[in-house]
């Protein structure tokens, strides 16, 4: 069997509609490896053939439930690619409950880093490859401001997700 042009062997991808735009879900057949929101209508992995599997279908269902206000947390096997530091940050932000927020400095402190590490924490949060499920939108500046968001259309997308969860911000 030959692979589709531009496809990555062993990787599957589906694209689903959502209130924040097209969401691309990528997996390896056993776990979700990426969830990204299209930016400017462009998907991150357009060359990857569209092929579903049960894990991706489950992720799509859980995301639909989240946007409908019926799901407060996700139950999916995840395999984000990143450095050990990034994975530690993503694991910590995964523990931020629905409807609440943490600050970059709090995330760093919880991991044993000084406040001066907030920029490094911010960079790891911004590199999160599994948006929404690993809830990087729940991380705010110390004064409650939104300082950025790499998913979808950026800050407007983050505002939508915070509003959906009832999380106050400045």
Catalytic residue among 60, 117, 136, 162: 136
Angle CA 122–123–127, to nearest 5? 115
Known active-site residue 136: yes
Residue 145: burial class (beta carbons within 10 Å; 0-12, 13-18, 19+):
exposed
Task: For residue 150, give the nearest of 18, 59, 20, 60 by alpha carbon.
Answer: 20
Residues in Cβ contact with 76 at an 8 Å cutoff, skipping those fewer than 6 apart: 31, 32, 55, 58, 59, 62, 133
* Torsion sign (Cα): 93, 99, 100, 101: positive
Say how far apart CA 152 and CA 144 lie, in whole Å: 21
Q: Kindly list the catalytic residues.
A: 136
């Amino acid at each position: 069997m030959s692979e589709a042009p531009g496809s990555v062997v062993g990787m599957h991808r589906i694209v689903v509609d959502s209130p924040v735009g097209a969401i691309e879900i990528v997996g390896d057949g056993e776990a979700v490896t990426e969830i990204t929101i299209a930016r400017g209508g462009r998907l991150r992995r357009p060359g990857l053939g569209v092929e579903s599997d049960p894990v991706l279908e489950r992720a799509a269902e859980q995301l639909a439930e989240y946007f409908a206000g019926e799901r407060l947390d996700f139950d999916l096997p995840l395999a984000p690619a990143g450095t050990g530091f990034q994975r530690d940050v993503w694991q910590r932000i995964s523990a931020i409950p629905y409807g609440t927020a943490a600050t970059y400095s709090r995330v760093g402190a919880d991991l044993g880093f000084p406040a001066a590490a907030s920029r490094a924490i911010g960079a790891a949060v911004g590199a999160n490859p599994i948006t929404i499920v690993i809830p990087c939108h729940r991380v705010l500046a110390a004064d409650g401001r939104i300082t950025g968001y790499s998913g979808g259309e950026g800050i407007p997308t983050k505002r939508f997700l915070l509003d959906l969860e009832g999380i106050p911000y400045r």
